Amino acid sequence: MENYDQLIQSAMVEIDSSNSIELLENIRIKYFGKNGIVSQELKKISKLNDEKKRKIGKELNEFKSTFFKNVELKKVRIRKQEISEQLKKESIDISLPPRSSSFIEAKIHPITQTTNEIVSILGSMGLSYEEGPDVEDDFHNFTALNIPKNHPARQMHDTFYVGEKNEGLVLRTHTSPVQIRTLMNKTLPLRIFAPGRTYRCDSDITHTPMFHQVEGLVVEEGVTFANLKWFLEKFCKIFFNNDDINLRFRPSYFPFTEPSAEVDINCKVESGKIHLGEGDSWMEILGCGMVHPNVFKMSLGEKNMNTNGFAFGMGIERLAMLKYGMPDLRNFFESDLRWLRHYGFSFFETTDLSWR
Ligand code: DAH
């Protein structure tokens, strides 16, 4: 064999493609074993003349050193590979298993979501947060709100009594008692709102025994019904994210306000869906009015009867149903997870307060 180039090349390919120490050993035997290809060639050298001996001897020696250098390199690589495979096999995964695919993202209940939105908006309009107890006394829930004993308005409230009726404790029938608590405990001027649970002994398509309201109260010199109108219109436009909404103030009666009004927003109903801010139907959304002098008299004393203020109260369920299109009030409190998954909100939804 005169030209060893091809031989060297195929030996290199064999070394490179072998993937175990045994295979490498077989390749070594194939070329440099007793009867290996190169060993045979070396044997032939003695029969050659001096010049050829030197030339071929040199070539074969180079072949040998390249061959063994590559074998060693390959051995190192194979050992590294074997160690890392071994480590992989022996390693223990101490991390917790991932949640299975049946994991369900938690959702925010529409009442919580709507309350948070209302809190953000009223807060951004300059009102501060107040709260009162769910179990109220007769004075705060009725008397101080100009609903004295035997007043027919008490019948309208379907009150839950706590303990004996004559003990005078009730589950608050509205959030309006927070008006009294703040008037009695804070100093004027006042700009507050108070969201919370309310209770009435009533249950049908549009009533649940427990529901939610937000109360609003602004008491400061010179406040007028016009301010109230502007305020509520602004609130509705922000809350429903709709500048086309029109409000209608209908004269009404609440014992704690004079004059009183119920507020409707315009809408149209098309194939069972309500479109707000369109059409000429009206949907009631809240009650409001100018605080009755008797309320100031009972909470602040005789000399404050001419104080000015406006108040409003709205049902959170109703606002949620109108904004998010839930058709049946009763579903809100049935704890049906399918309903909550459908109507619930993600944790990261924020209220748009860009109106500021
Ligand atoms: N408290 C009333 C209710 O539950 C709602 C209400 C009406 C509150 C007028 C007010 C108001 O503050 O001014 O039906």
298 and 167 inside one domain: yes
Residue 275 lies in a domain: yes
pLDDT at res. 199:
97
Q: Is the minimum distance from the CB of 255 to ligand 1 under 6 angstroms? A: no
Residue-wise pLDDT for 195-233, tens only, equals 999 999 988 888 899 999 999 999 999 999 999 999 999
145 lies in a domain? yes
In angstroms, the CA 113 to CA 326 distance is 14
28 shares a domain with 109: no
The span from the CA of 135 to the CA of 195, in Å, is 15
* 210-219 and 309-315 strand pairing: antiparallel
The CATH number for 254's domain is 3.30.930.10
| 62 and 160 share one domain | no
Count the domains in the chain.
2
Q: Which is the closest atom of ligand 1 to the Cα of 216?
A: 12
Q: In what order do the strands lie in the sheet with 169-171?
A: 135-137, 169-171, 161-162
pTM more than 0.75: no
Let me know whether 114 and 260 are in one domain.
Answer: yes
Atom of ligand 1 nearest to the CA of 289: 13
Residue 310 Cβ contacting ligand 1 at under 6 Å:
no
> Both 264 and 217 in a single domain?
yes
Domain region containing 22 = 4-90
Question: Is 197 inside a domain boundary?
Answer: yes
Domain end position, chosen among 45, 62, 90: 90
Nearest CA, atom 2, ligand 1: 313
Q: Which residue has the least CA distance to atom 3 on ligand 1?
A: 174
Q: 146 near 290, Cβ under 8 Å?
A: no
Q: Which of 90, 124, 142 is the last residue of a domain?
A: 90
Q: For residue 355, give both structure tokens.
A: 């109106």
Do 146 and 234 belong together in one domain? yes
In this structure, the residue with its CA closest to atom 8 of ligand 1 is 313
Is residue 322 in some structural domain? Answer: yes
Q: What percent of the chain has pLDDT over 70?
A: 98
**Tokens of residue 58, six digits:** 């040199």
Q: Which residues of 234-267 are buried (b: 16+ CB within 10 A; e: fewer)?
A: ebbbbbbeeeebbbebeeeebbbbeebbbbbbbb
Segment 321-332 shows an average pLDDT of: 90
% of the chain exceeding 90 in pLDDT: 71
Residue 350 lies in a domain: no
**Per-residue model confidence as pLDDT tens digits over 43-65:** 888 888 888 888 888 888 899 99
Give residue 139 CA to ligand 1 midpoint distance, Å.
16
**Residue nearest atom 13 of ligand 1, based on CA coordinates:** 288
Provide the β-strand partners of residue 275.
268
pLDDT tens digits along 148-188: 988 888 877 889 999 887 888 999 999 999 999 999 999 99
pLDDT tens-digit series, residues 291-301: 999 999 999 99
Ligand 1 neighbourhood includes 215 CB (under 6 angstroms): yes
Question: Looking at ligand 1, which atom is closest to the CA of residue 291?
Answer: 13
Residues 117 and 194 in one domain: yes
